[in-house]
Amino acid sequence: MLPLNEHLLNQVLLIAYQAGNHLQRFYQQHIDVQIKEDNTPVTEADLFVSQFLTEKLTALFPQTPVLSEENCHIPFEERQTWKEYWLIDPLDGTQQFINRTDQFSVLITLVRKNKPVLSIIHAPILSLTYYAMADFGAFKKQGEQVKKLGKNTVDFNRTSSFPTLRIAVGATTSQEKVRSMLSKDFAYEFVVLGSSSLKGALVAEGEVDCYVRLGQTGEWDTAGSEVLLNETNGQIFDSHFAPLTYNRRETLINPNFVMVADKSVNWDSIFQFN
């Protein structure tokens, strides 16, 4: 097993920054877009950075397998024997990359015994990096400024009479569907942002109270945010209020989920999925 320490973290941060430089280079030029079997877009940037990350991580850590969104057809019979592995998304927010919103990131997560334990979310155009390691804390680096993220507590008394819940979503079109699942005892304010991991980071930072995702994501989309949330008093749960799993099923596709900033809140009184 790899030692969870600052040396390991710094080695992987360097790889993430190099991958971000490659994404910036692709971002400056015209790129071809293809549609995958699952009807989502993929670009040459996704494929190039996937190969780059896989080669770099394998060269440094030859005993640790790499599972990438762009190379995820490894049989479960093989995957389930892994004690730890790197889980990567070379370009989280491919559609944002194509639409030139700047809201995309490189994701690298170390998963050990089916639990994410180290993660990096690097958004190169925004000069923004979040990173976390189990029992080490979660950090935000903006430019050259680094700050440790504190433990979140959600205060529903921010407004005197009618508490407002701040919810991150991926698109304005999903607001009504999300609203239909919410308790009528709150007011709701929606924040629209691309890149699943950047929305998760907003939750970990306490900028929003939760992030709701109704629709298809992969385990690589949530693993990085999960480490950040674990270090900041947050959590992720599905529509049955159960935790998400990693490499425990044939499929790598997540169910619908909610990321919350403060796990001590009685969220099942707010979200009424049924």
Residue numbering of the annotated binding site for Mg(2+): 69, 89, 91-92, 221
- 122 within 8 A of 233, measured Cβ to Cβ: no
Binding residues: 69, 89, 91-94, 221
State the Cα–Cα distance between residues 211 and 171, nearest whole angstrom: 12
CB-based contacts of 229: which residues, under 8 Å, 6+ apart? 200, 203, 204, 235, 236, 259, 260, 261
Residue of 49, 78, 46 whose CA lies nearest to 65: 78
Other C-beta atoms closer than 10 Å to the C-beta of 54 total 19
Q: Sort residue 100 into left (φ over 0), alpha (ψ -120 to 50) or beta.
A: left
Residue 92 · residue 76 · CB < 8 Å = no
Question: What distance in Å separates the CA atoms of residue 76 and residue 80, rounded to the nearest whole number?
Answer: 6
Burial-class residue 122 by CB neighbours within 10 Å (0-12, 13-18, 19+): buried
Numbered residues of the known binding site for substrate: 69, 91-94, 221
Amino acid found at 255:
P
